[in-house]
Chains A and B, each alone.
Chain A
Amino acid sequence: MSTKRSRSFISKPDLVSTTLIYPMTLTTETDTVDSGFTITTNVSSPLSQSPLQVQNSAGTILWSVPVAGGPKTNAKDMRAYNTAGTKYAAFNGQTSPQYYEYYDGTASYKLFSGMGAPSTDTVGTASTGNFYWRRATYDYPIMVGKSVTIGAATTNRWQSVAPTHDQANQTSENNAENVLPAKALFSNFKLILATAPGAGSTRTHTFRYNSAASALSFTIANPATSGSNTTDTVIAYPNNITNKTISIASMANIAPAGSLAKWRLLQTAPNQQLYASTNANTSTTAARYMGIQDSGVGTTSASVAQIFPDTGTLISFTACLSGSSGAGSYNLELFKGTYGSETSTGISFTLTGTSPQLFSPYETSVSVAPDDSLYWAITPSATAPTAAIVTVSMEYASSTAGNYVLLGGSGTTNLSTTATTFNNWYGNAAWNATEANVKALAYGTTLKSLYARVTSDTGAAKTRTCTFRINGANSAATVTFNNSGVTKNWTGTVAIATDDDINLTSIPTGTPNASRMIYGLCLNTPITSTATVYVCTAGGSPGTWSQIV
């Protein structure tokens, strides 16, 4: 391979020793016209291994070809020169931000793209005449209600970004973190307490990014019962090397009065993000299951499967562990189909460490339609892995602009057959007898459909009604099971205002058969930013930009 001399590999089709663990095969083709020289990865090579890498003499990585994501430069560029070698077009991969570049022999012209208006985050230092394509984005509300006391300690206690209503406060941030599937902007964090912090006490609630506090934070000082931050934003990125995750933290200056809480957050991006985490170390010896918008696991797929209420595609599947799996690994696989008969989608990961894995090929999508049932299966390898938390996420791209979903279920616990109970969404949690315990804090949006399924029909002359409630009152969104089938759905339009209390209720009549219930809600959020184009009229960081389309 020296550039000093020519070598012929024709007589040596396999140049690599077979005594190595993952020997590559180098082949020079003699009987086909496909390739002059081929590098073939070993069948046993881990997915994390890059089949080819180029380094300079100092060991600096110049270029690599990973299994997933395509060839990469190392903060450099990929150039296509004209035949004279004087001009080039390039994908410039500088550290941040990246851009398309045209160099005409004397000057460079840049074209950026991103979310939001041009900023130092999306254009860095720009020059007059640079262009910026702005993507269309939507505000997807994350709307939470808690039936357990929010963190009441003088050190941080954590919650997932989309927790079940009964998710306990986590004393380890690992237990609450959700991995990111794509870039998103987080904002409009608001939390309302049921009980003021108490004399001399203040509570601080913070959106955490990559295990660190962000500016998206606020403090509630006694006697106040609510706080918000509607000015700061956090742009969060996925990263296939470091563990870029998000969570919510709560901390007080002195032990505060215990309190339930409801809160909301906006995730602004082209697509909704669906998060799931085992929230605790998963079994190292037995299979476990979780929903696709969930926190915690079940021992059966039937207890965690979630039904989808909308038509669209799932993309950008990303997963990681909270720590190394040691000698073993965890297989994570997505199943979809009719409830009880789901089959593998082909989306699967072999997880071994904290570096997030993006499913390869990255453009793979899974179509979903109303009544589809989905869940993740987690299977430890025969060689027991080291205990770890599994977190996985994906984007949901609805076929209808602005549509997004909330997915929930009752887990392993049957609904009451005699009493009215209440629940919200984000995973599988038992229905609660007290509505105030599960009310979630809303952001202006529209409910479009409610799909529900019971695991056992009601029995003759008995009913079970599931209704979406706003501020303690029934809305028009309701389905009734009356021994005529285990699936029911409602479609229509129910407006939800910012700061409304929202939740579901289950009302039995005539003591219906014992059953669990799973449900999916489809909502719609108006477009936040249409796709448009800006041009830089004065250079700087980020400079002055004018919208021109």
Chain B
Amino acid sequence: MSKSNIIGTNQTTPGAMTAPSNLLTDATATTGLLIKQGAGAPVTQVPIRVIDSDAATLWEITNAGHCVSYNMKMGANYGVFTSGVYLNGRNSIPCLQLPDGTSNNGIRIYMGSGVPSGTTVNTSVIGDMYYRIDTPSTANQRIYMCTVAGTPGTWLGIA
């Protein structure tokens, strides 16, 4: 048997579980640690979830395969990664945020319908960009750039 199910074997009081995920370590060259959803698990159950001490969900892999969190950073703002690109969901309008080389304050890219507004962009800084979907044939109503910071700030149609 190439895999060892380590759930239970190291727990003092396993108790009765209806559909436990399995935590497997693999003796093959393909997978180091495998988290496998238990047979019979309901579709609403996520195979893995990380929560903080306040019981808030930080990150999870849904049964549908989506990798979900409130921010998804490629690189991080600590350690050797001082400027990452990330999906920024911290505020009411999620966006793509690019690195600026030194911090997490790179430009943010929004998408939406209509001119940039409080419902399509967050508090903006100069250089943020907005891709507008509803008027693709109208010049200067397709891509906007923030020229004055604010909420939503001043935005100039550039293409």
Chain A residues at the B interface, C-beta cutoff of 8 Å:
1-5, 7, 12, 15-17, 20-24, 26, 37, 39, 41-42, 45-46, 48-57, 59-60, 62-64, 70-71, 73-84, 87-91, 100, 102, 104, 107, 109, 111, 128-131, 533, 535-537, 546, 548-549
27 A-B pairs with CB atoms under 8 Å apart are A1-B7, A1-B22, A2-B21, A3-B46, A21-B27, A26-B33, A45-B32, A48-B30, A50-B31, A54-B36, A60-B65, A76-B67, A79-B89, A81-B68, A81-B70, A82-B70, A83-B91, A83-B92, A87-B94, A88-B68, A91-B72, A91-B87, A109-B133, A111-B111, A128-B136, A533-B159, A546-B137
User: Once the chains bind, are A78 and B89 in contact (CB under 8 Å)?
Assistant: no
Q: List, in ascending order, chain A residues with CB within 8 A of B139's CB.
A: 548
User: Once the chains bind, are B74 and A70 in contact (CB under 8 Å)?
Assistant: yes
Instruction: Please report the C-alpha to C-alpha distance between residue A77 and residue B77 in the assembled complex, in whole angstroms.
Output: 22
Instruction: Please report the C-alpha to C-alpha distance between residue A91 and residue B142 in the assembled complex, in whole angstroms.
Output: 22
With A74-B65, A533-B159: A84-B92 Cβ-Cβ less than 8 Å: yes
User: Closest A-chain residue to B9, C-beta based?
Assistant: A17
User: Closest B-chain residue to A14, C-beta based?
Assistant: B10
Report the minimum CB–CB distance from B84 to chain A (whole Å): 11
User: Closest B-chain residue to A3, C-beta based?
Assistant: B45
Instruction: Please report the C-alpha to C-alpha distance between residue A77 and residue B66 in the assembled complex, in whole angstroms.
Output: 5
User: Once the chains bind, are B94 and A55 in contact (CB under 8 Å)?
Assistant: no
User: Once the chains bind, are B20 and A4 in contact (CB under 8 Å)?
Assistant: yes
Q: List, in ascending order, chain B residues with CB within 8 A of A7's CB.
A: 11
Report the minimum CB–CB distance from A328 to chain B (whole Å): 14
Instruction: Please report the C-alpha to C-alpha distance between residue A41 and residue B33 in the assembled complex, in whole angstroms.
Output: 8
User: Once the chains bind, are A20 and B32 in contact (CB under 8 Å)?
Assistant: no
Report the minimum CB–CB distance from A533 to chain B (whole Å): 7
A-B CB proximity, top 3 nearest = A129-B133, A80-B89, A80-B87
With A1-B23, A20-B27, A129-B132: A82-B87 Cβ-Cβ less than 8 Å: no
Q: List, in ascending order, chain B residues with CB within 8 A of A57's CB.
A: 19, 36-41
Q: List, in ascending order, chain A residues with CB within 8 A of B61's CB.
A: 54, 62-63
Q: List, in ascending order, chain A residues with CB within 8 A of B18's CB.
A: 4
Pick from A1, A52, A70 the residue with the most CB of B within 10 Å: A1
Q: List, in ascending order, chain B residues with CB within 8 A of A63's CB.
A: 61, 65, 67
Asked if B104 CB lies within 8 Å of chain A CBs, one says no
Select which of B67, B74, B136 is within 8 A of A79 by beta carbon: B67
Report the minimum CB–CB distance from B79 to chain A (whole Å): 10
Instruction: Please report the C-alpha to C-alpha distance between residue A83 and residue B90 in the assembled complex, in whole angstroms.
Output: 7
Select which of B32, B74, B132 is within 8 A of A50 by beta carbon: B32
User: Once the chains bind, are A24 and B32 in contact (CB under 8 Å)?
Assistant: yes
Select which of A15, A39, A90, A548 is within 8 A of B10 by beta carbon: A15
User: Closest A-chain residue to B73, C-beta based?
Assistant: A80
Instruction: Please report the C-alpha to C-alpha distance between residue A371 and residue B128 in the assembled complex, in whole angstroms.
Output: 43
Instruction: Please report the C-alpha to C-alpha distance between residue A12 and residue B11 in the assembled complex, in whole angstroms.
Output: 9
Chain B, 1-34, CB within 8 A of any chain A CB: 4, 6-7, 10-11, 15, 17-23, 25-34
Instruction: Please report the C-alpha to C-alpha distance between residue A129 and residue B21 in the assembled complex, in whole angstroms.
Output: 42
With A56-B37, A111-B109, A129-B134: A1-B48 Cβ-Cβ less than 8 Å: yes
User: Once the chains bind, are A78 and B30 in contact (CB under 8 Å)?
Assistant: no
Instruction: Kindly list 6 other residue pairs between chains A and B, CB separation below 8 angstroms, not including A53-B34, A89-B88.
Output: A49-B29, A60-B65, A71-B67, A76-B67, A82-B93, A87-B92
Asked if B35 CB lies within 8 Å of chain A CBs, one says yes
Asked if B47 CB lies within 8 Å of chain A CBs, one says yes
User: Once the chains bind, are B4 and A54 in contact (CB under 8 Å)?
Assistant: no
User: Once the chains bind, are B32 and A51 in contact (CB under 8 Å)?
Assistant: yes
Report the minimum CB–CB distance from B70 to chain A (whole Å): 6
Report the minimum CB–CB distance from A425 to chain B (whole Å): 38
Pick from B70, B87, B88 the residue with the most CB of A within 10 Å: B87
Instruction: Please report the C-alpha to C-alpha distance between residue A129 and residue B14 in the assembled complex, in whole angstroms.
Output: 54
User: Once the chains bind, are A55 and B47 in contact (CB under 8 Å)?
Assistant: yes
Q: List, in ascending order, chain B residues with CB within 8 A of A55's CB.
A: 34-37, 47
Chain B, 87-114, CB within 8 A of any chain A CB: 87-96, 109-113
Q: List, in ascending order, chain A residues with CB within 8 A of B89's CB.
A: 79-83, 87-89
Q: List, in ascending order, chain A residues with CB within 8 A of B6's CB.
A: 15-17
Select which of B32, B45, B96 is within 8 A of A89 by beta carbon: B96
User: Once the chains bind, are B142 and A548 in contact (CB under 8 Å)?
Assistant: yes
Report the minimum CB–CB distance from B130 to chain A (whole Å): 11
Select which of B34, B92, B131 is within 8 A of A131 by beta carbon: B131
User: Once the chains bind, are A54 and B32 in contact (CB under 8 Å)?
Assistant: no
User: Once the chains bind, are A111 and B87 in contact (CB under 8 Å)?
Assistant: no
Q: List, in ascending order, chain A residues with CB within 8 A of B71's CB.
A: 80
Report the minimum CB–CB distance from B143 to chain A (whole Å): 7
Instruction: Please report the C-alpha to C-alpha distance between residue A104 and residue B95 in the assembled complex, in whole angstroms.
Output: 10
Q: List, in ascending order, chain B residues with CB within 8 A of A130's CB.
A: 133
- Proximity string of chain B (39-83) to chain A, C-beta cutoff 8 Å, 1 when within and 0 when not: 111000111111000000000011111111111101000000000
Q: List, in ascending order, chain A residues with CB within 8 A of B134's CB.
A: 129
User: Once the chains bind, are A102 and B111 in contact (CB under 8 Å)?
Assistant: yes
User: Once the chains bind, are B19 and A2 in contact (CB under 8 Å)?
Assistant: yes
Instruction: Please report the C-alpha to C-alpha distance between residue A45 and residue B93 in the assembled complex, in whole angstroms.
Output: 42
Asked if B86 CB lies within 8 Å of chain A CBs, one says yes
User: Once the chains bind, are A51 and B88 in contact (CB under 8 Å)?
Assistant: no
User: Once the chains bind, are B17 and A5 in contact (CB under 8 Å)?
Assistant: yes
Select which of B21, B87, B159 is within 8 A of A78 by beta carbon: B87
Instruction: Please report the C-alpha to C-alpha distance between residue A91 and residue B35 in the assembled complex, in whole angstroms.
Output: 23
Q: List, in ascending order, chain A residues with CB within 8 A of B26's CB.
A: 22, 49
Q: List, in ascending order, chain B residues with CB within 8 A of A88's CB.
A: 68, 87, 89, 94
User: Closest B-chain residue to A91, C-beta based?
Assistant: B87
User: Closest B-chain residue to A536, C-beta based?
Assistant: B136
Instruction: Please report the C-alpha to C-alpha distance between residue A81 and residue B132 in the assembled complex, in whole angstroms.
Output: 20
